[in-house]
Chain A
């Protein structure tokens, strides 16, 4: 039998390690080559103890390095690492040695650091979002007593509710209302758009945040135009001048007196810059005003007591109206829950997914570290044989693990900041800057602790085990097998766990993708066009006559149509995706019996100009669009959405040419309006599937006949890029009227994107997590199987040499790996079934196709793991039996 011409790879690697640890960098290659030369020389001399001699050479290098700390061949300044010496300087050597080893195995190092970075980055970002949105109390005094109140009429501004006031209940300390909107803040030169909160005195009393300067606006029903400024606006527009209190500002061409400045950070609702009282500006919140009600409970009552008292009051009021029960009882919800309610399911789902991801990452890092440690048996054996202490070796392993953890944590912190930015769109607008901020350093700390904890458990423990007893280690010198069975079982266990979690995450990912697809399938009614939209508010004080608005539109349209790149221009009073409050009206058909109360046919009251439907890509189903002739003085005309047409004209006949009217309180109806067209239903606020018909009842009137008095939104079809078009439109609008600021510029396509954004974010995040988990567990499986094959190389070689068919060998390896996969799938399927239940509840996805999803996901995991399994199996079957047996020396 001939000896191999060069040492086997593991031996060469060991040699490189020793050389790296003992020889200065520029000499290493030379020394390594010398070692190989010696091997060859001995082989040619017919020596049989090549491996022992190789180890002796390595030991000689170590011993020499130990003896002469100042020699140029020695790089670590002393022998303490190898002898297990005392003193703090050894720590630094360990760090340097660990760094060198990390450089030496870039693949595992990068894999470990990246895995950690993904896990830490994703979990820190999502738990930061969770903390900010769901866990952290609102930053107002005694936030636990703040509630949101639904189905209540309370004294609000001048419009007092007839029954006893909700705010007078003993369980309620204060109650108020708010609605968010905007206004034009005008000065001598022009105007800017500012975010406005329309709030009453009770709003300030409820939140109980004292002003930084001045006073809260005065209490009472008197309509006084007073304004509170946000700290930011006060600094940006008024130079933080304390004398601003009592001065006048102009909003929507009306003069307000500044009553006070709120403290920094207070911008509720949303990013409000100015707070004004209700009933002084009917345009600030759009075409209508629908406040949300908040209240502060009395200090001596619990939430449940308050809820009962309020329900009892609600029922009592119903009885005074002659109703047995209140059809719409007043309810309260903790304010924080009410504000974050819409995003709660998504955040919880993401938090659950990311928790699983973190588990998988810990398991996978543990796996990688175990693989690292177990493949270095020889090195530890050598060090122990040379007198290294157990602790010293364990410390070396631990330091290496810690370095990897810190590398992962640093990269993860960067990734978290980036990921948090993408999560920002989940934050409800009403929370403003409250919702988010920078990445929470405490959370990064926690993530580092978790990963370091994993490093300690999975790094130091195997390190100590690796160090073993000296005698045992000496005996291990020269043995070629790597990895002890304990570690292999541990690694196999970790992989079974990972595979189970991959299955669970893939199931969750399938559910989120299903929810996204379902939303994407919803027909929005308008096109994904590159048309641009922007909005103006024409102050009623200047545009009192509705015809002034029509005049403004026509001037702007003519100016825009002349601008380069603008193909056609239209307008509406209410764009899809608008945050303003729209108007609903009760419609009826003249000559038919009128319904009463809630039975009346309520529909969204919208307005549109000629070309509006064409620009928006809203299909005209029957009849025609509005024409320029549909203006004041001509026959009033309307266009119905399909749902409105079906509702007003049941029976399937065409409504074209028929008349409708607006029912007004007191039985009076408007002039008859002729239906001239039917258009597609438009999703005005989102793509949630299964909306009630009510939100799709839409009646458009001709804007030229009935201009809106809230805001006016222009839409423009462009020939060029949207960005250029937006700049053009802005410029043109400034020329039309510099005192009318343009705001909310966007493309129509972005509205459609915005509808899908939260679902898309959830789906891509959960799917991303699932994919990472799948890859990590497949790589883990591959690693374990490759190790199994490597360990049994000699055995397999002998079997092949004795005539075992290669297919049999391959099958045996695959079967062994599949046992792991089967365990993982069994554990995972149980979890995945439960996951489907949870996700379908959270995402309101119909639970159809459960079996199909589980089967598909399991098949995917199986397919991926089969590949991971098959590569080592193939390698096993291709072992060069003769070469292997020859190499046995």
Chain B
């Protein structure tokens, strides 16, 4: 979480934003939290999601736009996030690191 480093929770939030956007949904606090709840089987704190979004925005990995309220129940003004190019690059880079590490892991695990 320090400096430009991307923490584990931040990475999850960034991925959630990317996934929601790809599904054509608005990525904001509640859907992100619910998605992470489902996927991690944890009760993610909504406060933590907000904080992570703030930090990601500070690192210029995501950007936010105010969306107008929709004419449906619960429709209202809110901040929707999308992943910036730098965010994509960072996610790809993180995955490559993981993939590399995973490739090596079985051998070490057996040894």
Contacts and interface: CB of A to CB of B under 8 A. Distances in A.
Interface of A: 22-23, 27, 29-31, 33-35, 37-38, 40-41, 53, 56-57, 59-65, 67-68, 71-73
A61 B30 contact: no
Contacts of A29: 76-77
A71 B1 CA distance: 13
Contacts of B55: 68, 71
Contacts of A27: 79
Contacts of A40: 74
B77 A61 contact: no
Contacts of A63: 45, 47-48
A59 B43 CA distance: 13
Given A30-B77, A73-B54, A38 B46 contact: yes
A68 B51 contact: yes
Interface residues of B, number: 19
B46 A41 contact: no
A84 to B, nearest CB: 19
Nearest to A30: B78
Contact of A68 (B34, B45, B54, B77): B54
Contact of A57 (B47, B51, B54): B47
B51 A38 contact: no
Contacts of B54: 68, 71-73
A60 B47 contact: yes
B50 A56 contact: no
A53 B33 CA distance: 13
Contacts of B78: 30, 33-34
B47 A61 contact: yes
Contact of A56 (B43, B74, B79): B43
A61 B50 CA distance: 8
B87 interface: no
B74 A37 contact: yes
Contacts of A57: 45-47
B47 A62 contact: yes
Interface in B36-76: 43, 45-48, 50-51, 54-55, 74, 76
A64 B76 contact: no
B51 A67 contact: yes
Nearest to A73: B50
A64 B47 contact: yes
Interface of B: prevailing SS: helix
Contacts of B33: 38
Given A56-B43, A56-B45, A41 B34 contact: yes
B110 to A, nearest CB: 40
11 contacts: A33-B78, A34-B28, A56-B45, A57-B47, A60-B45, A61-B45, A61-B50, A64-B48, A64-B51, A68-B54, A68-B55
A857 to B, nearest CB: 55
Nearest to A23: B50
Contacts of A33: 74, 76, 78
Contact of A60 (B28, B46, B77, B79): B46
Shortest beta-carbon contacts, A-B, top 3:
A60-B45, A64-B47, A60-B47
A71 B46 CA distance: 15
A31 B50 contact: yes
A7 to B, nearest CB: 14
Contacts of B46: 34-35, 38, 57, 60-61
Contacts of B48: 60, 63-64
A220 to B, nearest CB: 94
Nearest to A37: B30
Contacts of B76: 29-30, 33
B45 A73 contact: no
A61 B45 CA distance: 8
Given A35-B46, A61-B46, A73 B51 contact: yes
A72 B43 CA distance: 23
Given A29-B77, A34-B46, A56-B43, 18 more contacts: A22-B47, A30-B77, A30-B79, A33-B76, A37-B30, A53-B43, A57-B46, A59-B45, A61-B45, A61-B50, A62-B47, A64-B50, A64-B51, A68-B54, A68-B55, A71-B50, A71-B51, A73-B54
Contacts of A35: 46
A71 B10 CA distance: 14
A29 B77 CA distance: 9
B30 A34 contact: yes
Contact of B47 (A37, A41, A53, A65): A65
A62 B46 CA distance: 10
A381 to B, nearest CB: 18
Residue with the highest number of chain A CB atoms closer than 10 Å, among B29, B50, B74: B50
Residue with the highest number of chain B CB atoms closer than 10 Å, among A23, A59, A67, A71: A71
Nearest to A65: B47
Contacts of B47: 22, 57, 59-65, 73
Interface in B14-40: 28-30, 33-34
A47 to B, nearest CB: 11
B44 to A, nearest CB: 8
A63 B46 CA distance: 10
Given A30-B77, A56-B43, A38 B50 contact: no
A101 B69 CA distance: 28
A65 B74 CA distance: 26
Nearest to A58: B47
Residue with the highest number of chain B CB atoms closer than 10 Å, among A27, A30, A31, A53: A30
